[in-house]
Amino acid sequence: MARIAAFLALMLMAGPAAADDISPDRAVRLEHLVLQDCGSCHGLTRKGGLGSPLTREALGGADPHAIAGIILDGLPGTAMPPWRPLLTETEALWIANYLLEEPAK
């Protein structure tokens, strides 16, 4: 959580990205990515594994831009990889909002 707070400061200048630019098609594929490929470290149910839990409760209302920042740049020195080579900022923000809103399955 401390990390997320620290990230906030950085992200303030980034400005809001519109997550609704994601097509329904792309949204389906992003959800699949979260469940399956984030899931290989964070668990299919997002309850954690090698990576920390990513449930709504665990993220506790963190700023979506801060979460998107972690997704894009990873957490250096840990096993959390940077997804910037594979995801756009809009997509990362969509995932962040998904994690914050969608109950774990």
Partner 1 sequence: MTLIAPLSRRVVVGLAATAMLALAAAPVRAETPCCATGDLGLIVERATGSLVVVDQSERAAIGRIEGLGDLSHASLVYSPDERYAFVFGRDGGLTKVDILAQTVVKRVVQAGNSIGGAISDDGRLVAVSNYEPGGVRVFDTDTLDMVADIPTGSKTVGLVDAPGRRFVFSLWDAGETWIADLSGPMPKITKLTGIGTNPYDGLITGDGRTYIAGLFGEDGLVRIDLWAEEPEPRRILPHYGRGREKLPVYKMPHLEGWALAGDQFVLPAVGQHEVLWMDARDFREVARTPTHGQPVFAMARPGGRQVWVNFAHPLNDTIQVIDSQSHEIVHELKPGPAVLHMEFTARGTEVWVSVRDADRVDVYDAATFEKLGEIAAKSPSGIFFTARAHKIGL
List residues near ligand HEC by CB under 6 A.
3-4, 33-34, 37-38, 40-42, 50-52, 54, 67, 70-71, 75, 78-81, 83, 95
Which tokens is 49 given?
Answer: 């594994």
Positive/negative CA dihedral, 96, 30, 101, 88: positive
In angstroms, rounded to a whole number, what is the distance separating the alpha carbons of residues 83 and 105?
A: 23
Q: How many CB atoms lie within 10 A of CB 55?
A: 19
CB nearer to partner 1: pick between 63 and 73: 73
Q: Which of residues 33-62 bind partner 1 (CB under 8 A)?
A: 35-37, 39-41, 43-45, 47-50
Rule CB under 8 A: which residues touch partner 1? 32, 35-37, 39-41, 43-45, 47-50, 74, 79, 81-83, 85-86
